[in-house]
Amino acid sequence: MAVMVTGGTGFVGINLVEALLARGEHVVVAALDDVPAAARRAFARLPGKLEAVRCDIRDAAAFTALLRKHQVDRLFPFAAITSGPAREAEAPELVVEVNLLGFIAQLRAARDAGVTRVIAPSSSSVYGDSYFSHALLNEATTPCVPAGVYGTTKYAIERCGLRLGELWGIDVIAARIGSVFGPWERDTGLRDMIGPHHDLARLAAAGQPAVLPAAIPASAWVYGPDVARGLLHLLDMKNPPHRSFNICSGQNWGDVITRWADTLAEHVPGFTWRQSANPAEVNVRFTELRPRGRMDIARIQATGWNPEFAPDTAYRHYAAWLAANPDAL
């Protein structure tokens, strides 16, 4: 039997595929593009089996046949467009079609192919405006008020997934993933919201100085390998006590991102950085400059999962990973 990850060539998808292969799983990556060469080289050293197929997840009949062909019994339907304001203004229909209708097509195919568990790809973006009015955001009582089209599709995925899971007899768990950074982040053309950690790494690799804003907001960062571990925890969970879980560091890292800049300066000769109150000088992007509340991870912690990486350990690990994978950016 196999695990399928759709959108498995994207940022979270590749981290997840790597973690699955590391524990010896047969993993089928289904995406519009191929697994990057740097990832294939890294994955060749892992004990699991990797297969990559091209597919459009909106074609439910073809996708059902693909699940049956590869004997997929567990599914991560993570194919999505991570849209920013410009794309949402230009093509909101496409974002909804891929993210929500594509997810429903995958869920229907999972039902017809006998998939035993589906991890629905929700996001911290479902909290939306609540991020700025609640100090702590939890799955049970914090209102979900998504602001963008992307966040709206993620909340719809979560609610539709859980409802259709009940109606169709599919074991669905929703993962509300925090703001991810770390290995394998890159511009795929489908991910508009590239994070500031990647911007800093890219500038350092290019030999360019970095300029961060003077005021850096608190944010719910989580390291990519920790997200992958959390998703595997949900995949393996017996008799889940809940059907939606925050996956995050449980901390607001805020301006500790300056430690990442310092770490890069230690590892990359000639790299410099500074902060500026002049927005015209800033070349490290933040999608939001307002302070945010902290994502509560007590629910998933109660089931036995805890994040492994605090900021400093994550930054050391990420710097070592970049040194070992210089072409991965």
Q: In the chain, where are the structural domains located?
A: 2-181+222-251, 196-218+253-292+310-324
Q: CA-to-CA distance for 233 and 279, rounded, in angstroms?
A: 41
CA triple 198-54-6, angle to 5 deg: 55
Q: CA-to-CA distance for 268 and 26, rounded, in angstroms?
A: 37
CA torsion through residues 228, 190, 171, 112, sign: negative
Please report the pLDDT score of residue 158 as a whole number.
97
Q: CA-to-CA distance for 234 and 245, rounded, in angstroms?
A: 9
Task: Single out the residue of 310, 287, 83, 39 nearest to residue 183, CA to CA.
Answer: 39
Mean pLDDT score across all residues of the chain: 95
* Contacts of 154 by beta carbon, 8 Å cutoff, 6+ apart: 99, 121, 122, 123, 125, 126, 146
Count Cα neighbours of 228 within 13 Å in the Cβ-side half-sphere. Answer: 24
* Residue 241, number of CB atoms within 10 A of its CB: 9
Q: CA-to-CA distance for 145 and 157, rounded, in angstroms?
A: 14
Please report the pLDDT score of residue 18 as a whole number.
98
* Contacts of 78 by beta carbon, 8 Å cutoff, 6+ apart: 5, 6, 7, 8, 10, 12, 13, 16, 121
For 99-157, write each residue's pLDDT tens digit. Answer: 999 999 999 999 999 999 999 999 999 999 999 999 999 999 999 999 999 999 999 99
Instruction: Tell if the pTM clears 0.85, that is, is over it.
Output: yes
Please report the pLDDT score of residue 253 as a whole number.
83
Please report the pLDDT score of residue 220 as a whole number.
80
Q: Give the relative orientation of helices 149-168 and 102-113 as an angle to the nearest 10 degrees.
A: 20
> Taking the chain (329 residues) in consecutive chunks of 10 residues, what is each chunk's mean pLDDT?
96 97 98 93 97 91 95 97 92 96 96 97 96 95 96 97 97 96 86 88 96 89 97 97 97 88 96 96 90 94 97 96 88
Fold entry, domain 2-181+222-251: Rossmann fold (3.40.50)
Please report the pLDDT score of residue 113 as a whole number.
96
Query: Which residues share a beta bridge with 77?
Result: 6
Please report the pLDDT score of residue 191 as a whole number.
77
CA dihedral 323, 190, 28, 169 (to 10 degrees): 130
